[in-house]
C-alpha cells in the first residue's frame, strides 16, 4: 500500500459492521492513451468523434468573457481535476492505482463513471456519436476488467433514438459484460416549427427531450430492454450553462444546482410519463445532484395531486361557477362598474377556461394515481439519488417526520472522487460519517446510505450483480431481507 500507516478512513472503516459502496466515483481518462486505443478499437471514425467531442468545451474557454457574453455562451468548467494532490490525480488516471488505494479510502467497492465521457452521448452526428460511445465502452471495459471484484465502470448509452440505445445496451451487456449504464437524457432536438419556417435559425434554438414524457420517440422498448438485461438505468445529466444557468463569467453560478435541475427534470418525466407504473421491476438513479431536490419534488408531487387530481379540479372548473349567485354578491358588494360588467357576462372567464386541448385533464393519468399512497409507491422505492459526502442535506432523505407519508428516500453515497470537489480522496468517508457524529443520521441510516441502498438499487434489478465481488456475501444478505 502507498499510504504511510493508517488513514482516518481506513480506521473508520475498521469500526463499521458493514461494507462501503461508492455508487459514483470518477476516473480521469488519459487522453493520449484513449486516442491510441480508440484508433485500435474503432478506427478513424472513433478518433474523429473523439476529436470533435474534445473540441466542444475548450472552444468556449478560449473565448474572452466579452465574446461569450456577445454569443450568450456560459462560462464552462475549468481546473476541474486535482493537481496539488498528485497522488489523487494519478489515482483518478490509473485504475490499478485506485484499486490498490481502496482500503486507504475506506471503500470496499466502487462504481466508476466517466469524466471526459460524461458528454459523449450528446454528440449531434449519429455516426460519430455511436462510434464514440462504442469505442469508449470497449476501452473502459478493458481498463477495469482486471479489477472487477472491487471496481466496475459504467457504460455510456446514447439515447437520441430507442434503436441506438437498445443496440448499445445489448452490446455493452452481452459482449462487454457491463452491469452499470449511464443513459443519455435532456436530448437536444430541433424545434419543428422553426425548422419548417426558419431553417437557417433552427440549429441555434433547441428543445430538451426528457425521454419519459412528451418525447417524439416511444422509449418503452428501452425500458423493456433494461428489464430483460436486468440493468438499472442511471442518469448523470447536467444542465450547466443553459437557460437560467448561463453566466458567461461565473462558473459557480452555472454549476450550483445544475445536476439537481437535470435530475428533477428526468425524474418528473419518468414519473408523470408512467414509466415507474409500467416497469415496476426497474430502479432509476439520478447522480451527483444530492437529495434535497428529490425530497422537495416528492412533496410537490403529493401537494399538486391533492389540488389537481380529477376530483379536486372540480373546485376550479368554470362550469361550477354559480353565475346567479356571484351576480347577487356583486350587486350587494361591488362597485357599479363591476356590477355592469358581470351583468354583461364579462370578467368571469379569466380562470383559464381553455384547457389547451389535452385529452385527459388529470396530469397524473399516465401513472394512474387514485390515492396519495400511489405516489409514495411509485416514487420512493423506484428512485435513487446520488449524494456527495460533504452535503449536510443528505440527512433530509432519512427524516421521516419531514417527508410526506413518513417516507425515507433512497440516498446513495456518491463520492465524486477524481473531481475538483474532492481535494483529498481519503476524506470522503470521514466527511460522510460527520452526519452520524452530529446526530443527523443514526447508525442504521448510515448503513443504508453507504451500503444497503446501493445493494438494493442494483441488486433488486439484477440479483447476481454483486456475484464475484468482495461484497457478494453481505449484499446477498441484504437482498434476502424484505424492505
How far is Cα 174 from Cα 171, in angstroms, rounded to an integer?
A: 5
b/e per residue, 227-255, with b = 16+ CB within 10 A? eebbbbbbbbbbbbbbeebebbeebebbb
Strand partners, 182: 156, 234
pLDDT of residue 57: 58
Does residue 148 lie within any of the structural domains? Answer: yes
Q: Is residue 332 part of a domain?
A: no
Whether residue 9 contacts residue 426, with contact meaning beta carbons closer than 8 Å, is answered with: yes
Q: Is residue 110 part of a domain?
A: yes
Q: What grid cell was written down for 142? A: 478493458
62 is written with which cell numbers?
478560449
Return the HEC string of 266-320.
Answer: HHHHHHHCCHHHHCCCCCEEECCCCCHHHHHHHHHHHHHHHHHCCCHHHHCCHHH
Separation CA 105–CA 357 (nearest Å):
56
CATH number at residue 112: 3.20.20.140
pTM of the model: 0.95
What angle do the packed helices 31-61 and 126-144 form, to 10 degrees?
130
Predicted confidence pLDDT, tens digits, the chain (483 residues): 454 456 999 999 999 999 999 999 999 999 999 999 999 999 998 999 998 887 765 578 889 999 999 999 999 888 989 899 999 999 999 999 999 999 999 999 999 999 999 989 888 889 999 999 999 999 999 999 999 999 999 999 999 999 999 999 999 999 999 999 999 989 999 999 999 999 888 888 889 999 999 999 999 999 999 999 999 999 999 998 888 999 999 999 999 999 999 999 999 999 999 999 999 999 999 999 999 999 999 999 999 999 999 999 999 888 898 999 999 999 999 999 999 999 998 888 766 667 888 889 999 999 999 999 999 999 999 999 999 999 999 999 999 999 999 999 999 999 999 999 999 999 999 999 999 999 999 999 999 999 999 999 999 999 999 999 999 999 999 999 988
Within-domain flag for 353 = no
pLDDT for the residue 28: 96
**Tally of structural domains, the chain:** 1
- Cα 446 to Cα 464: distance, rounded to the nearest angstrom: 24
Residue 278 CA from chain centroid, whole number: 20
Question: DSSP string of 231-268?
Answer: --EEE----TTSTT---SS-HHHHHTTHHHHHHHHHHH
User: Are β-strands 187-190 and 206-209 bridged in parallel, bridged antiparallel, or unpaired?
Assistant: antiparallel
- 294 within domain boundaries: yes
pLDDT value of position 202: 84
Which among 8, 6, 81 has a CA at the least distance from the CA of 427? Answer: 8
Say if residues 275 and 372 touch (Cβ distance below 8 Å).
no
The helix/strand count (H/E) of the chain reads as 21, 10
Exposed, middle or buried by CB within 10 Å (0-12, 13-18, 19+), for 408? middle
Q: Which helix (H) or strand (E) holds 182?
A: strand 180-183
Q: Cell triple for residue 457? A: 438499487
User: Rounded to 10 degrees, what is the CA torsion of 174, 177, 180, 181?
Assistant: -50
Distance CA 312, CA 98 (A): 55
Would you say residue 456 lies in a domain?
A: yes
Question: Could you tell me if residue 273 is inside a domain?
Answer: yes
Instruction: Look at residue 5 in the predicted model and tell me its pLDDT.
Output: 52
Q: Is 449 helix (H, G, I), strand (E, B) or coil?
A: helix
Q: Give the pLDDT confidence score for residue 352 in this predicted structure.
A: 65
For residue 210, give its domain range.
8-12+19-304+383-480
pLDDT at 334: 94
Query: What one-character-per-residue DSSP string does 404-434 give?
Result: GGG---EEEE---TTSTT-S-GGGHHHHHHH
The answer to whether position 318 is within a domain reads no
Amino acid at each position: 500500500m502507498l499510504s504511510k500507516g493508517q488513514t482516518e478512513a481506513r480506521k473508520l472503516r475498521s469500526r463499521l459492521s458493514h461494507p462501503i459502496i461508492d455508487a459514483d466515483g470518477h476516473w480521469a481518462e488519459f487522453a493520449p492513451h484513449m486516442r491510441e486505443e480508440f484508433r485500435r478499437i474503432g478506427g478513424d471514425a472513433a478518433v474523429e468523434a473523439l476529436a470533435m467531442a474534445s473540441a466542444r468545451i475548450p472552444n468556449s474557454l478560449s473565448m474572452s468573457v466579452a465574446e461569450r457574453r456577445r454569443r450568450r455562451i456560459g462560462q464552462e468548467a475549468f481546473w476541474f481535476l486535482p493537481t496539488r494532490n498528485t497522488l489523487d490525480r494519478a489515482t483518478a488516471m490509473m485504475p490499478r492505482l485506485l484499486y490498490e488505494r481502496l482500503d486507504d479510502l475506506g471503500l470496499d467497492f466502487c462504481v466508476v463513471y466517466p469524466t471526459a465521457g460524461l458528454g459523449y452521448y450528446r454528440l449531434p452526428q449519429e455516426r460519430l456519436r455511436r462510434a464514440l460511445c462504442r469505442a469508449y465502452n470497449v476501452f473502459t471495459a478493458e481498463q477495469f476488467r482486471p479489477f472487477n471484484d472491487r471496481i466496475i465502470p459504467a457504460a455510456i448509452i446514447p439515447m437520441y433514438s430507442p434503436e441506438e440505445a437498445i443496440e448499445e445496451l445489448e452490446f455493452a451487456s452481452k459482449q462487454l459484460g457491463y452491469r452499470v449504464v449511464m443513459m443519455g437524457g435532456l436530448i437536444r432536438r430541433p424545434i419543428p416549427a422553426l425548422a419548417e419556417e426558419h431553417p437557417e435559425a433552427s440549429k441555434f434554438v433547441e428543445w430538451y427531450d426528457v425521454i419519459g414524457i412528451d418525447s417524439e420517440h416511444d422509449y418503452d422498448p428501452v425500458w423493456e430492454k433494461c428489464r430483460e438485461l436486468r440493468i438499472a438505468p442511471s442518469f448523470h445529466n447536467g444542465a450547466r450553462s443553459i437557460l437560467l444557468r448561463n453566466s458567461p463569467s461565473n462558473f459557480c453560478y452555472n454549476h450550483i444546482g445544475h445536476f439537481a435541475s437535470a435530475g428533477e427534470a428526468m425524474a418528473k418525466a419518468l414519473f408523470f410519463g408512467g414509466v415507474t407504473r409500467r416497469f415496476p421491476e426497474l430502479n432509476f438513479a439520478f447522480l451527483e445532484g444530492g437529495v434535497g431536490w428529490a425530497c422537495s419534488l416528492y412533496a410537490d408531487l403529493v401537494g399538486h395531486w391533492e389540488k389537481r387530481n380529477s376530483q379536486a379540479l372540480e373546485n376550479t372548473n368554470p362550469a361550477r361557477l354559480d353565475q346567479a349567485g356571484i351576480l347577487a354578491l356583486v350587486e350587494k358588494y361591488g362597485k357599479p362598474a363591476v356590477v355592469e360588467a358581470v351583468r354583461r357576462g364579462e370578467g368571469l372567464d379569466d380562470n383559464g377556461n381553455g384547457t389547451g386541448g389535452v385529452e385527459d385533464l388529470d396530469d397524473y393519468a399516465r401513472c394512474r394515481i387514485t390515492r396519495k399512497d400511489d405516489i409514495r409507491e411509485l416514487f420512493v422505492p423506484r428512485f435513487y439519488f446520488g449524494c456527495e459526502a460533504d452535503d449536510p442535506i443528505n440527512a433530509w432523505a432519512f427524516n421521516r417526520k419531514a417527508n410526506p407519508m413518513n417516507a425515507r428516500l433512497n440516498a446513495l453515497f456518491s463520492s465524486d472522487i477524481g473531481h475538483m470537489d474532492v481535494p483529498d480522496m481519503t476524506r470522503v468517508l470521514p466527511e460522510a460519517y460527520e452526519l452520524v457524529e452530529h446526530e443527523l443520521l443514526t447508525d442504521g441510516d448510515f448503513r443504508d446510505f453507504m451500503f444497503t441502498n446501493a445493494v438494493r438499487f442494483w441488486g433488486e434489478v439484477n440479483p447476481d450483480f454483486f456475484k464475484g465481488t468482495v461484497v457478494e456475501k453481505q449484499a446477498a444478505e441484504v437482498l434476502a431481507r424484505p424492505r
